């Protein structure tokens, strides 16, 4: 019992910290400010909106690595594979290596194994879901105490494309409100839209925690706004930018994001880079203001 209570106190402390831990997966997506729910047009949809997987026309595999702030940023490695299956829909599997190791006192290891599915149901509407097995391990180094727990988490998703240049999406994370170490994971409703003024330009907009479930928590990211832009300069080179949680009441959650994408000539391989600049990081925080990510995607 003493061991469990110690771990629970550690979790409460860790989850209450304000730090650049909110950002998510995919170098392309994060370069666009983490606004992707309404676009969901590549394999990153396995996290952002599995209903959007119906837009994939071929098999895709991707890997994104966080290059800086790996001990503070809570998504260090992201690996995913997706495949459309005729008359069935599109399936995907992914793994996220997450967690923190910020001090000599505690370490958190967080692993996600995810199965994703999306299917078009008619009227330019697609539905999808994620079934995620999440394992959380807490290591209190100072007390030589270690414990772990796991939970099955369920997401539901919707994607609607009424016009070729306009789409909307909705992700409902943790619909079943799973518990880890007896701490309930709150439902996170995340709507988004995407608009393409022309073939080379895409604008995206998302709202994080639309229902305001985190409003009374130490880290308040309720109804935070995310904006993204992607422009293809040539057929092989894209430039991207974004505003991440720009209106957040938690200053440390705000970031400018920048990036680029490059498609290799005559190869179904793309390389994406993302730079996140955390705007209001406290001067005494042991965190670099810049986070770099690199992603590689192969299609066939």
* Domain boundaries of the chain, sorted by first residue: 2-299
> What's the whole-number mean pLDDT along residues 182-195?
93
For 89-124, b where at least 16 C-beta lie within 10 A, e where not — what string?
bbbbebebbbbbebeeebbbbbbbebebbbbbeeee
> What's the whole-number mean pLDDT along residues 29-47?
97
- Are 194 and 39 contacting, i.e. CB atoms less than 8 angstroms apart? yes
Q: How far apart are CA 80 and CA 93, in angstroms?
A: 6
Higher pLDDT, 192 or 8: 192
Task: Supply the pLDDT for residue 219.
Answer: 76
- Report the relative pairing of strands 224-232 and 201-208 from DSSP bridges: antiparallel
- Are 51 and 158 contacting, i.e. CB atoms less than 8 angstroms apart? yes
Percent of the chain past pLDDT 70, that is, above it, reads 87
Residue-wise pLDDT tens digits, 84-128: 999 999 999 999 998 776 666 778 889 999 999 999 999 999 999
> What's the whole-number mean pLDDT along residues 25-39?
97
Q: How far apart are CA 3 and CA 20, in angstroms?
A: 29
Task: Supply the pLDDT for residue 104.
Answer: 66
Q: How far apart are CA 203 and CA 41, in angstroms?
A: 13
Topology (CATH level 3) of domain 2-299 = Porin (2.40.160)
Q: What are phi and psi of 268, to 5 degrees?
A: -85, 45
Task: Supply the pLDDT for residue 19.
Answer: 47
Name residue 184's beta-bridge partners.
179
> What's the whole-number mean pLDDT along residues 178-196?
93
Q: Among 277, 281, 227, which residue's Cα sits nearest to residue 250?
A: 281
> What's the whole-number mean pLDDT along residues 266-270?
91
Q: How far apart are CA 210 and CA 224, in angstroms?
A: 8
Q: How far apart are CA 47 and CA 49, in angstroms?
A: 6
Residue-wise pLDDT tens digits, 164-185: 999 999 999 999 999 988 888 8
Q: What secondary structure letter does DSSP report for 252?
A: G
Indicate if the pLDDT at residue 212 is higher than 70. yes
Higher pLDDT, 266 or 44: 44
Q: What angle do CA 146, 152, 157 make, to 5 degrees?
A: 135
Indicate if the pLDDT at residue 21 is higher than 60. no
Higher pLDDT, 15 or 50: 50
Q: Which run of H or E residues covers position 9?
A: helix 2-16
Indicate if the pLDDT at residue 18 is higher than 60. no
Question: How far, CA to CA in Å, does 52 sit from each of 93, 133, 252?
Answer: 14, 21, 30
C-alpha of 132 from chain center: 14
Indicate if the pLDDT at residue 131 is higher than 50. yes
Question: CA Rg, the chain, in Å?
Answer: 19
């Amino acid at each position: 019992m003493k061991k469990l209570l110690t771990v629970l106190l550690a979790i409460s402390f860790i989850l209450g910290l304000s730090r650049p831990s909110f950002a998510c997966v995919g170098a392309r997506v994060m370069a666009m400010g983490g606004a992707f729910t309404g676009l969901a047009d590549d394999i990153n949809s396995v996290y952002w909106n599995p209903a959007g997987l119906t837009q994939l026309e071929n098999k895709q595999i991707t890997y994104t690595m966080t290059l800086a702030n790996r001990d503070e940023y809570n998504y260090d490695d992201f690996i995913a594979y997706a495949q459309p299956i005729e008359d069935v829909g599109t399936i995907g599997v992914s793994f996220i290596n997450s967690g923190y190791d910020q001090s000599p006192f505690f370490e958190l290891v967080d692993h996600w194994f995810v199965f994703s599915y999306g299917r078009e149901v008619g009227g330019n509407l697609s539905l999808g879901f994620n079934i995620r097995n999440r394992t959380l391990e807490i290591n209190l180094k100072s007390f030589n105490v270690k414990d772990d727990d796991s939970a099955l988490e369920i997401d539901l998703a919707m994607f609607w494309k009424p016009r070729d240049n306009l789409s909307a999406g909705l992700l409902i994370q943790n619909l079943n409100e799973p518990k880890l170490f007896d701490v309930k994971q709150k439902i996170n409703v995340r709507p988004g839209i995407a608009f393409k003024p022309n073939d080379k330009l895409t604008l995206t907009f998302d709202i994080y925690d639309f229902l305001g479930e985190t409003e009374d928590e130490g880290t308040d990211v309720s109804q935070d706004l995310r904006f993204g832009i992607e422009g293809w300069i040539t057929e092989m080179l894209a430039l991207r930018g974004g505003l991440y949680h720009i209106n957040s009441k938690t200053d440390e959650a705000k970031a400018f994001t920048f990036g680029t994408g490059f498609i290799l000539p005559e190869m179904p391989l793309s390389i994406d880079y993302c730079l996140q600049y955390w705007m209001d990081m406290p001067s005494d925080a042991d965190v670099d203001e810049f986070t770099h990510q690199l992603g590689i995607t192969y299609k066939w």
